[in-house]
Amino acid sequence: MSASLNTAVATAAAATADPACAEPLAVLGRDVTVPLVTGGEVTYAALDYAASAPALQRVWDDVAAYAPYYGSVHRGAGYLSQLSTDLFEQSRVTVAEFLDCRPTDQVVFTRSTTDSLNLLAAVLPAGCQVFVFETEHHASLLPWADAQVTYLNAPRTPAEAVATLERALADREPYGPALVCVTGASNVTGELWPVRELAAAAHAHGARIVLDAAQLAPHHPVSVQELDVDWVAFSGHKLYAPFGSGVLAGRADWLQEADPYLAGGGASRKVSRREDGGVDVEWHTTAARHEAGSPNVIGVYSIASACRALTEAGFENLVAREQRLVARVREGLADVPAVRVLSLFGDDAPRVGVISFVVDGWNSSHFAAALSAEYGIGVRDGLFCAHPLVRTLLGSEPQAQGECGAPEAAPGERSLNAIRVSFGAGTPDEHVDRFLDAVRELVTDGAKWQYRTEEGRCVPTV
């Protein structure tokens, strides 16, 4: 495991008794109540942070305070445009500091992690080969269609991951430019990957590496310099800033040498007509080269606000509190014999607050629907945009058909799905306790309501 991530987990374990870890950060929607099919209402337990985390109250307040002063950036002479431009560019500095970027790195604002990795795919140098583990989220697995891609089998230990990558890079033909794409924390199992060791292996074999930090950045400090990655990508909506922005940060050379990701205003520095009637374009060499169009200023500012809020709260405290919740959930699920938690690296692997599991005798869609309808708990079921990984983890064990049918399978394949519970800095202890009580009750007593399949989803019968 990467030294910095290992240190963070160890620090968390030592700090669990710290009173400062006791309270979650305030998030928007923390008092929302939802109806139960069995009658009455309950405060909603949002345990689907791995999909989208709720906005921090601090982020919402910052956005609300700025909104009356919103103006177009980089183009206006008016006061609001000048103020918005300063705020937009200062947000770039804030994100660079949050990620501990190198002085020469660029921070490019995008729509999401998916958009960031597609941007990087669009600027790969000619002949670049891409190496990616089959365990990746589809955002990391799929953008490389125009490159020669080597998909690596799922490793069962961090050491095996490093050894597998080293062999693949050493054996590549031709021995030219290469890029490794790897997650920092699995969106299925929550397990931490050995990012620093993988980066060292990549660089030793003349390759570069991009870190998908979508599931890591909300849970742990991410240092570009300590991990020695070339780029890092993440989304605002997982970092408590769900306003439609993302980040690609890292080395500038490939970004500067490639054509803009999108062509248009903002990316162009100078456009002139030629004598033959055509157009000559001089593109920016800064991050603006890949930020054509009017940027999402509020989305960018919300990311910067979240970065400041997490930093000021103290990541040591946040990690410590989350690790306490991780231990509570894992211990609670281990006490239910019918539950099997999915893991790639084993029970002792350090992980963030993302845990997937299956329940004997239940289809996962049915179980997740009952958690929502009868207990007001929001989790996720399915394959989590990581189909190869979930299928590997589930192996040959088919899901029970249950009262609701499992999601349709492709021809010749079995239908497989799992349940994922995920949490973070805004999760109250009560939500975790209610979830564990609900799991035990459903396994012991079954659902109180009837369910049916409607448009591929399991829903309560009305």
Cβ atoms 240, 60 nearer than 8 A = no
As annotated, the active-site residues are 385
Q: With a cut of 80, say whether residue 6 has pLDDT above it.
A: no
Average pLDDT over residues 311-318: 94
193 confidence band (pLDDT: 50, 70, 90): very high
pLDDT > 90 in the chain, percent: 83
The b-or-e profile of 3-32 (16+ CB within 10 A means b, else e) is: ebbeebbeebeebeeeeebeebbebbebee
pLDDT of residue 54: 98
Residue 107 sits at φ, ψ, to 5 deg, of -110, 115
Q: With a cut of 70, say whether residue 4 has pLDDT above it.
A: no
pLDDT digits (tens, 9 = 90+) for 415-462: 578 999 999 999 999 999 999 999 999 999 999 999 998 887 899 998
| Alpha-carbon span 2 to 4, nearest angstrom | 6
Tell me the Ramachandran region of residue 176: left when phi exceeds 0, alpha when psi lies from -120 to 50, beta otherwise: beta
pLDDT of residue 358: 95
pLDDT digits (tens, 9 = 90+) for 265-308: 889 889 999 999 999 999 999 988 998 899 999 999 999 999 99
397 confidence band (pLDDT: 50, 70, 90): low
**Rg from Cα positions in the chain:** 23
pLDDT digits (tens, 9 = 90+) for 361-391: 999 999 999 999 999 999 999 999 999 999 9
